Structure 1
Amino acid sequence: MADPVSTLQNHPGDVEYPVRARRKYGKMLEARRRANPSANGRRALLVTAIAAPFGIAAFSYSLDQFGSDDLVVNFLFFAFGMGIALSVIASAMTFVDAGAPRRAQKRYRQLTGIPAVTEHQQQVLALDAVSDFAIRGWNSSLAFTPTFAELPQAIRTKYNDGEKGSPWPAMSISSLRELRSSLDEQFRIVSASDAELLVADTLTLGWNSSRFAEVAESDGAAHMMSRIASLTGVAVFDIQDLAQSTDDRPARNLLAADIERAVGGVRYSYVVGYLTAEKAWELLELLAERAFSTYRSWDEYWRDVVIARAFRTDSLQSVQSQRDALAELRASAWPAASIAWPTVGAAQVDPA
């Protein structure tokens, strides 16, 4: 078995993989503190408390050298000592802040105890990689974002599943209430059974495919397919072929987009705590098996996803955005950018 994918990923909201200490993170945290008077006050108090002894030492040195007759000189030494100390301490703290996101993610991984994904699991997750890349989320773990659902109960209770903030200022975690509302809005999922139904529907005739098949049988089919061909640059005959079934296989329709959507829905259901990791991987494997037995390569899979984007949005800008995200992903250091398309019959997903 290949080495597992590293557990440290990109910082949520950024695409650099894996997360590294960067000056921009220090500036980001400083901006957040300045927007919060309480946090800004605590930071100022801490810096002043550290710098004060240096100012006092400079003041004492001036007394030894010049006596106490010239208080102006004495206080200039104090101000000089404080100023130098404040500058050095501020620079040191900025350096420390630069590595805060990396330390936060490392601590998160330690607390969750979730192992790195295997090569095959990464192949499965890569079916949803463009979406993750577009939102600057995670693609090398079952969760696409840090979540209280993975953290120990003591931390969940302390922060009331996110209602009372996040354990790490450098890595915010949305509340489960907020995430569940978003999941319901996007997928109409409010339970584990809803997630299972999403997978079952996808494997039968998914949301995108059912609409595509309906239009393909209508009087507007020729216009629709011609429009998609113009938006994507894919030959109209190839688009027409998506709606054709044979004795050996049913019509493919927009299966790739349905699988991408369902993978996202299952992972989201895990993030909010509706599914266990074991159940989520089980459902993902059903989707992956269909994808890897239907398509022959990542290029073919993503081509059909782009076709679905054109069908769904009827927008050149949307299609270009999808392709831009895919191109950026392929040029990145994300494992999904270089993972091989699996051969049919590859090892099954190992439940995490």
Structure 2
Amino acid sequence: MAEAVNALQNHPGDVEYPVRSRRRYTRALDAKRKADPAEMRRRALPVTLIASPFGTAAFTPTFAELPQELRAKHRDGEEGAPWFALPVASLKQLRSALDEQFKIVTKADAELLLEPSVEKAFATYRSWDEYWREVVIATAFRTDSLQAVQSQRDALAELRTSRWPAASVPWPMGGATA
């Protein structure tokens, strides 16, 4: 009879170790690599060689870094740049590039994406405390990290004591019933 294995099997023959065991193994492997300085230098060299050509091209000066007088004179890039030889992208261009790159949603999009979720939350839970308790539990199961749960609890405590208007909005009546 085969020995019991502390692992999960997704498919016959495939063994996947539980999250904690994988993380423990990864940490042990990282500690082993970091213990040998020669190995760290040997591994760092190819990474440096690959990244160095991109490091110089990655610098993009912006109007946000310039003195206020230059920003006002050129209206944050809307009326040209202060130096002919060094083009500086306008803040409007940079914002639109960020929006495109990271798909930042508009207010109307957010209302379409969030409204069904909000209605479901209000129908399911009776209070903010009940809702956030479930979010913390979900975070614990999803991340398997005490630090993530503690960070979330700290953020919630800060939210409750903040003067931000959303922190004091009452839970809508008509939530879930027992």
Q: Which of the pair has the greater relative contact order for Cα pairs under 8 Å at 6+ separation?
A: 1
Q: TM-score range by the shorter chain?
A: 0.3 to 0.5
Structure 2 length normalisation: TM-score? 0.45
Q: Flag the structure with larger Rg.
A: 1
